[in-house]
Amino acid sequence: MSPVRSGNGARFRGGPLACLLAFLALPAPPQAAVAGAGLSPQAPKPARRLDAPQERSPATPERLAADERATLRGERDLVLEVRVRAGDTYAAIGQRYLIDLRELDAVRARNGDRLPSEGSFLAIPYPSLNDRFKIRVIRDLFPEDGPREGNWIHRTGAGRLQPSQETLWNVALWLTGRGENFGVLADRNALPGLVPAKDQEIVVPGELLLPPFAALAGLLTASAGTPGSSAAPADVQGDDFTEVPGEPETGSGTAPSIAPSGQATDATGQLAYGSDDSGAFAKYRLKRGEALYSVVMRFTGRVDSQEVNDVAFAIAGRSGIEDVTDIPTGYGVKIPLDDLLPEYLPATDPRRVAWEKSQANVSRYINPASSRNLEGVTVILDAGHGGRDRGASHNGVSEHEYVYDILCRIKALLERDTAARVLTTIKDRREGYRVRDSNRLPRNQAEMLLTDPPFPLSEPYVSVNLRWYLTNSYYRRLVGEGSDPLKIVFTSLHADARHPGLGGAMVYVPGEQYRRSRYGYSGPVYARIREVREKPYVSFTRAQRERSEGLSRQFARALVRSFRAREIPVHPYDPVRERIIRKRRSWVPAVLRCSEVPVQVLIEVSNLNNLDDSRLLSDPAYRQKVAEAYVDALGLYYGGAAQRRAPSRATSSRGH
């Protein structure tokens, strides 16, 4: 979505329709799957995916037209030159060729503010092109390039460029979006220099490819970032935001919000309540430089790119915004009350009243346990995804390898510097718990869950559930051995892919309202696992749910405090959340929803869809800071002050 900012933004010339297209310049979401029939007390059904992969027709090579030509200017500057047609405007050209109309600034910088005359050629930088034209440019320059076994194969000297122009930097830049990936290509292809020999076959790993080339390689649906129907059998991209209960939780439904009769504004004076023909709304006046997408994330809790854009589009239309690229400072935008988070609703709104009551009940619970040097504390660590499931993958960074490295670092620090005991749900059969001080962490798909028997991570959606079965088994065993239940902490580490406009860490806790059913799974795969047979189904009393949310919120606040003390970016709006919101559904991730551990959190350490966040996560020094901040937070939670250690290099940790 265009970062709709108030103030003196550039105004496009294409009229309201073109501007709205600019606003929504994002890929369409996959078709929603039919919802499951729900859970029965005797045989709960597995969770269902909201976003089923779309069927894809076989890709057909597309070529540039006669009035389009790919050109390399200088050593690295790849552009598409297009002939200006009669009646063309910058906005019209942008709609044909650009990934987003925000890229018009880059096009104007190349060609001037005045559009070149009809019949002249206009240069469009390759990074600004949409997926279709990126593919066409590469096909035009390198007709023998193409996918193979989930990777992309480039043959030097077989296209229109000279071999000396096909440096590893350029190949990495054009196919992965980052020239810095040349080192990965050199390692993968055992190349000694930056310039490959003529007829050299260069393998570009699938996990690094830009979305359009990943789609052709069978890894992704182009631009959408979802698994394609013909995904390579050895590779799956998981999504933390698609694993949901089969039906809404009992008692979690809410009535539509209504316009307040006596309250004109909220307590802070930021929102003015009213109603129109479309229903009740809260009006918010944009501040200078403020983006509409950030208003959506702040007041509605949405973080998914497509949903943020959908809500923002609806707000723009309802608010009478014709030119979304130039909203005046102070302009009032109407946010439907039904989309607002409960804390921003009028004081008498039923949803607000219910939320305040729930928060009051939860806040009663404070962990009374204390510990010197974490004596008697057991930490159960989980790293999301693994094996075939690499998790979120953007900007050349795949989730699992990096969060698993953070797990190894936390484990090493706790075992070296504290008296805490560490258990894990997952282990790399080749690397063990070795910390890796590298910016590029290769995938080996050798991880397994430490169930009995061990479960190879070949079925991602089964492994999600086996993690909480294993965690619960650990918990029952520890309590049976005499451990204090309030000194057992479960943490699942992830890195998600939210709207790219805002980065920073987020922490999820188990919301009481979203754990009111009975949960469990059956079938031959589950029946083989001892931890499932021990206790196939779980459910929780209201007191247990409230206590767990309260204790977990307390720990989550300590985490946020420690992250900020270590200068780790934190999401600016409500970084501690009790549920995921998507497609007007709210739920808690399964590893929290079904866990019996009272103190539990899921940490999204970075937003991989945000370039700054993805670069941070690839830095081993940053991953070490996250691990140190986590240990600091445990010290805060159990009564000790956060200790700012000198930077350290954890090299290994013990198994268990």
* C-alpha separations of 621 from 325, 402, 438, 502, 611 in Å: 38, 12, 9, 22, 17
DSSP 499-541: -TT---BEEE---GGG--S-EE--SHHHHT-HHHHH--EE---
Q: Give 95: exposed, middle or buried? Use CB within 10 Å, 0-12, 13-18, 19+.
A: middle
In this prediction, residue 482 carries a pLDDT of 97
Check pLDDT > 60 for residue 232.
Answer: no
Q: 203: helix, coil or strand?
A: strand
The answer to whether 570 and 564 have CB atoms below 8 angstroms apart is: yes
Predicted local distance difference test score (pLDDT) of residue 105: 84
DSSP state of 101: G
Strands 537-538 and 455-456: unpaired
Kindly indicate the confidence band of residue 253, based on its pLDDT and cuts at 50, 70 and 90.
Answer: low
Residue 520 pLDDT more than 50? yes
Residues 213-218: contacts with CB within 8 Å, 24+ apart? Answer: 213/134, 213/135, 213/138, 213/147, 213/152, 213/175, 215/56, 215/59, 215/131, 216/59, 216/135, 216/146, 216/147, 216/152, 217/147, 217/148, 217/150, 217/151, 217/152, 218/147, 218/150
Give the whole-angstrom CA distance, residue 312 versus residue 20.
11
Q: Compute the mean pLDDT over every residue in the chain, rounded to the nearest whole number.
A: 82
Q: What is the mean pLDDT of residues 321-346?
A: 88
Residue 299 has pLDDT above 80, yes or no: yes
Cα–Cα distance, 202 to 199 (Å, whole number) = 9
Q: How confident is the model at residue 637 (pLDDT cuts 50, 70, 90)?
A: very high
Q: What angle do the packed helices 292-300 and 305-318 form, to 10 degrees? A: 110
Q: How far apart are CA 302 and CA 310, in angstroms?
A: 10
pLDDT digits 0-9 by tens, 235-245: 445 544 435 45
Buried residues in 578-595 as b, exposed as e (16+ CB within 10 A): bbbbbbebbbbbbbbbbb
Q: In one letter, which amino acid is 14?
A: G
- What b/e string do you get for 241-265 counting C-beta neighbours within 10 Å, with b at 16 or more? bbbbbebbbeebeeeebbbbeeeee
Predicted local confidence at residue 656, as pLDDT: 54
pLDDT tens digits, one per residue of 133-142: 999 999 999 9
- The share of the chain scoring above pLDDT 90, in percent, equals 51
What is the token pair recorded at 70? 């790919």
Sheet containing 426-428: which strands, arranged edge to edge? Answer: 426-428, 447-449, 455-456
pLDDT at 502: 86
Q: Is 171 exposed, middle or buried (0-12, 13-18, 19+ CB in 10 A)?
A: buried
Residue 655's CB is within 10 A of a number of other CB atoms, namely: 10
pLDDT value of position 652:
54
Residue 36: is its pLDDT beyond 70? no
**pLDDT for residue 260:** 63
Question: Where does the pLDDT of residue 388 fall: very low under 50, low under 70, confident under 90, or very high at 90 and above?
Answer: confident
Report the range of poorest mean pLDDT among 108-122, 205-219, 289-303: 205-219
Per-residue model confidence (pLDDT) at position 309: 83
Residue 63, token pair as written in the block: 């070529």
More confident residue, 20 or 384: 384
- Cis peptide preceding 453, ω within 30 of 0: yes
User: How far, in Å, CA of 295 to CA of 301, rounded?
Assistant: 10
CA–CA separation, 182 and 171 (whole Å) = 8
Q: What is the mean pLDDT of residues 319-347?
A: 88
Q: Which residue did the predictor score with more confidence, 356 or 29?
A: 356
Q: Of 46-50, 114-118, 165-169, 191-195, which range is least confident? A: 46-50
The per-residue pLDDT for 263 is 61
What pairing do the DSSP bridges indicate for beta strands 121-125 and 77-83? antiparallel
Highest-pLDDT range among 27-41, 90-104, 183-197, 474-488: 474-488
Calculate mean pLDDT across residues 375-386: 95
Q: What is the pLDDT at residue 183?
A: 79
pLDDT tens digits, one per residue of 564-600: 999 999 999 999 999 998 877 889 999 999 999 999 9
Cβ atoms 576, 509 nearer than 8 A: yes
For residues 39 and 517, the answer to whether their CB atoms sit within 8 Å is yes
Mean pLDDT value across residues 597-626: 95
Q: For residue 308, what pLDDT is reported?
A: 86
How far is residue 656's CA from residue 226's CA, in Å, rounded to a whole number? 35
DSSP string, 315-343: HHHHTT-S-TT-BPTT-EEEEEGGGS-GG
Which of 84-98, 150-164, 238-252, 335-349 bottoms out in mean pLDDT, i.e. has the lowest? Answer: 238-252
Residues 514, 516, 521, 522, Cα dihedral to 10°? -160
Report d(CA 294, CA 274) in Å as an integer.
Answer: 22
Residue carrying the six token digits 């997926």: 131
User: Are 153 and 202 in contact, with CB atoms under 8 Å apart?
Assistant: yes
Sequence-distant (6+) residues with CB within 8 A of 326 are: 8, 9, 10, 11
Which pLDDT belongs to residue 254? 55
Question: Is residue 59 very low, low, confident or very high in pLDDT (cuts 50, 70, 90)?
Answer: very low
pLDDT attached to residue 398: 84
User: How many percent of the chain have pLDDT more than 70?
Assistant: 80
Q: CA distances (Å), 509 to each of 396, 488, 499, 600, in order?
A: 29, 15, 21, 7
Element holding 244 (H helix, E strand): strand 243-244
Q: How far is CA 34 from the centre of its chain?
A: 24
Q: Pick the residue with more confidence: 302 or 268?
A: 302
pLDDT at position 177: 87
* Nearest alpha carbon to residue 633 among 542, 569, 558, 539: 558
How much is the average pLDDT of 302-320?
Answer: 87
Q: Is residue 650 scored above 70 in pLDDT?
A: no
Q: What is the pLDDT of residue 579?
A: 94
State the Cα–Cα distance between residues 506 and 574, nearest whole angstrom: 8
Nearest residue to 406 via CA among 440, 381, 380: 381
pLDDT band at 421 (very low <50, low <70, confident <90, very high): very high
Q: Where are the alpha helices (DSSP H) in 451-496?
A: 460-480
- pLDDT confidence band for 229 (50 / 70 / 90): very low
Name the region of 118 (left: φ>0; alpha: ψ -120 to 50; beta: rest).
Answer: beta
Q: How far apart are CA 325 and CA 560, in angstroms?
A: 34
Cβ pair 201, 171 in contact under 8 A:
no
Q: What pLDDT does residue 280 have?
A: 93
Pick the range with the lowest mean pLDDT from 100-104, 406-410, 434-438: 100-104
pLDDT of 261: 59
Q: In 3-state terms, the chain is what percent helix, strand and coil (to 5)?
A: 35, 20, 45
Pick from 12-21, 487-496, 646-655 the range whose average pLDDT is largest.
487-496
Q: What domains are defined for the chain?
A: 142-214 (no CATH), 362-637 (3.40.630.40)
Angle 648-651-656 (CA atoms, 0-180°, nearest 5)?
Answer: 120
User: First vs last Cα of the chain: how many Å apart?
Assistant: 46
